[in-house]
Amino acid sequence: MEIFNVEIALRNFGPLLAGLMLTIELTFVVIAISLVFALLVALGGMSRFAPLRWLVKVYVEAIRGTPLLLQLIYVYYVLPEIGIRLNSFTAGVLALTLNYSAYLSEVYRGGIQAIARGQHDAAAALGMPRMLAMRRIILPQAIRVVIPALGNYFISLFKDTALCSVVSIQEVVFTAQILAARNFQYFTLYTVVGIMYLAVSFPAARLVAYLERLTKAGYRRRRS
Amino acid sequence: MNDRRPTRPMIEVEGLHKHFGDNHVLRGIDLAIAAGEVVCVIGPSGSGKSTLLRCINHLEVAEQGRIRIDGELAYATEKRGVFRPHSNRAIAAVRAQLGMVFQHFNLFPHLTAMGNIIEAPVHVLGKPKDLARKRARELLTQVGLADKEDAYPEELSGGQQQRVAIARALAMDPKAMLMDEVTSALDPELVAEVLATMRDLAAQGMTMLVVTHEMNFARQVSSRVIFMDQGMIVEEDSPEHIFGAPRERRTRDFLRTVLER
């Protein structure tokens, strides 16, 4: 069995770190877009306009019923056949955003539906039209409810970006594959990659746990 | 006491019917409340009292009947005998004229007492924030909570929350207040402070329609008492008559059971 080779680890640390940075960049771009897009999907799913509700339902079911890997391949290799040619990064962002938005929209929907009927009644009784009540009263409370769930999805997104190697994005796993193909130091390289993932995901999980405690603490005055 | 003409009708209800599934909860309600009147609605649970209140500001949609607020037909337009329901915006505009206070307060938990009170004046009426805040402070003082403007609802007792809810409704300068069992969810020792606030409001000439189980409040404060049972108004009269010499047997039976406790 090969042993961990410190020299190899150090020599390849630079390119691997560059790969990790791309992984993180990909994660943040997808988070930023899907936070907004998923909310629109959730609101569309609750619309009074039936065709919009059906469209949302078809989209969510199609995404949830197929593998993310297939969705990535589809966006990168099949869309060009109908004239939509995307570079690797854009294809990865598009597929991941479509995938995660479907799941996140369900999270938002759950959060919105968790808000008590009395809140809708009170807003309506004050003369607030439906969308104003949604924006000012319901969503601020719902988002607070779903923050921990969103956080956990984002951690799993961070790990799922590894699948983007199939569309040739040189994120950290793909970088390690390329390096290992040259020097055959699988143990060392993939161990470094594993540690890199943990170095990000472990603190992120602690942060989510902290946010969860914070959101459960209720609404109180902050005393300084 | 005030210069409003006592005969001007503020809330008029005509032939109101409402079903929940097979349950016929309102069976033809006719009712008129004049400006400045304080009308208490009493009756056993399930008699349709709360539904009536909720229909008046369209939180429940009645299948039949007309509602007029300050003389204007609300929630629908009539053209040659045909009714067309109003748009959501028009419905919201009527609701903005009526204050409603709920059994479970329904304060917005993510906003402070101040935030709760200025929310609708600022975002529905477009009132400048500083003016809304000034008015909110007056109202908080009126309900005895001048020192609580920065408190969040869950930092307040039930009685305090309900008084903030009353202030929140008053901040819209409503033409009338609808109060739906506003003391029923309170611990007994907190009921008095809310009733005192309601008495003040009545003394200031506010038009009030109050669904309540507080018989003493109904007896002492109301100008008229309505007894409802099984979706109908069984009897309406002055508090002296309702509590002293009720005409209907059902009224007598009900009052006997609630007053005996």
A119 within domain boundaries = yes
CA A43 to chain centre: 19
Mutate to test the interface with B, among A48, A115, A126, A134 (most CBs of B within 10 A): A126
pLDDT digits (tens, 9 = 90+) for B92-137: 999 999 999 999 999 999 999 999 999 999 999 999 999 999 999 9
Q: Count Cβ atoms below 10 Å from residue A88 Cβ, excluding itself.
A: 17
| Inter-chain CB proximity A127 and B119 less than 8 Å | no
**Chain A residues with CB inside 8 Å of B152's CB?**
218-221
Q: What letter represents residue A131's amino acid? A: M
Nearest residue on chain A to B97, judged by CA atoms?
A127
| Inter-chain CB proximity A126 and B169 less than 8 Å | yes
Percentage of chain A modeled with pLDDT above 70: 98
Q: What is the pLDDT of residue B86?
A: 87
Helices and strands counted in chain B (H then E): 9, 12
- pLDDT at B4 exceeding the cut of 60: no
A103 within domain boundaries = yes
Model confidence pTM above 0.95: no
Would you list the DSSP string of B100-140?
EE-TT----TTS-HHHHHHHHHHHTS---HHHHHHHHHHHH
A191 within domain boundaries = yes
Q: Is the dihedral of CA A118, A122, A127, A129 positive or negative?
A: negative
- pLDDT at B261 exceeding the cut of 80: no
| Inter-chain CB proximity A127 and B93 less than 8 Å | yes
Q: What letter represents residue B88's amino acid? A: N
CA distance A60 to B129: 41
**Residue A157 in contact with residue A99, Cβ under 8 Å?**
no
CA distance B192 to B186: 10
CA distance B154 to B196: 22
| Inter-chain CB proximity B102 and A144 less than 8 Å | no
CA distance B243 to B255: 8
Percentage of chain B modeled with pLDDT above 90: 86
pLDDT digits (tens, 9 = 90+) for B156-179: 999 999 999 999 999 999 999 999
- pLDDT at B2 exceeding the cut of 80: no
Residue B30 DSSP class: E
CA distance B79 to B81: 5
End-to-end Cα, chain A, rounded Å:
57
Please state the rounded mean pLDDT for residues B20-38.
94
- pLDDT at A224 exceeding the cut of 50: no
Q: What letter represents residue B49's amino acid? A: K
Please state the rounded mean pLDDT for residues A179-197.
92
Listed by number, the residues of chain A in 114-143 with a beta carbon closer than 8 Å to a beta carbon of chain B are 116, 118-119, 121-130, 132, 136-137, 140-141
A173 within domain boundaries = yes
pLDDT digits (tens, 9 = 90+) for A86-97: 999 999 999 999
| Chain A with chain B: Cβ pairs closer than 8 A | 77
Give the residue among A50, A209, A42 at the shortest CA–CA distance from A109: A42
CA distance A131 to A123: 11
A65 within domain boundaries = yes
> Residue A79: helix, strand or coil by DSSP?
helix
pLDDT digits (tens, 9 = 90+) for B59-95: 999 999 999 999 989 998 877 777 788 888 899 999 9
| Inter-chain CB proximity A121 and B154 less than 8 Å | no
Q: Count Cβ atoms below 10 Å from residue B28 Cβ, excluding itself.
A: 14
- For residue A51, the domain's CATH number is 1.10.3720.10
Asked if A222 reaches chain B (Cβ–Cβ under 8 Å), the answer is no
Structure tokens at A77: 């290799």
Q: Which of A116, A141, A221 has the CB atom closest to B152's CB atom?
A: A221
Residue B155, Cβ density class (10 Å: 0-12 exposed, 13-18 middle, ≥19 buried): middle
Q: What is the total count of domains within chain A?
A: 1
pLDDT digits (tens, 9 = 90+) for A46-69: 998 999 999 999 999 999 999 999
| Inter-chain CB proximity B120 and A137 less than 8 Å | no
CA distance B169 to B93: 14
Range of the domain at A30: 6-223
Q: What is the pLDDT of residue B78?
A: 79
Query: Token pair 């069992």 is at which residue?
Result: B181
Structure tokens at B231: 């979706």
Mutual orientation of helices B113-123 and B158-170 as an angle, nearest 10°? 20
Q: What letter represents residue A196's amino acid? A: M
Give the residue among A27, A41, A175 at the shortest CA–CA distance from A93: A27
A87 within domain boundaries = yes
CA distance A30 to A157: 9
Pairing state between β B176-180 and B98-101: parallel
Q: What is the pLDDT of residue B6?
A: 54
A1 within domain boundaries = no
Pairing state between β B98-101 and B82-85: unpaired
Does ipTM top 0.90? yes
Mutual orientation of helices A186-216 and A6-45 as an angle, nearest 10°? 40
Q: What is the pLDDT of residue A222?
A: 63
CA distance B253 to A80: 80
A155 within domain boundaries = yes
**Chain A residues with CB inside 8 Å of B209's CB?**
none
Please state the rounded mean pLDDT for residues B228-238.
95
- pLDDT at B1 exceeding the cut of 70: no
- pLDDT at A2 exceeding the cut of 90: no
Q: pLDDT-based confidence at A219, cuts 50/70/90?
A: confident
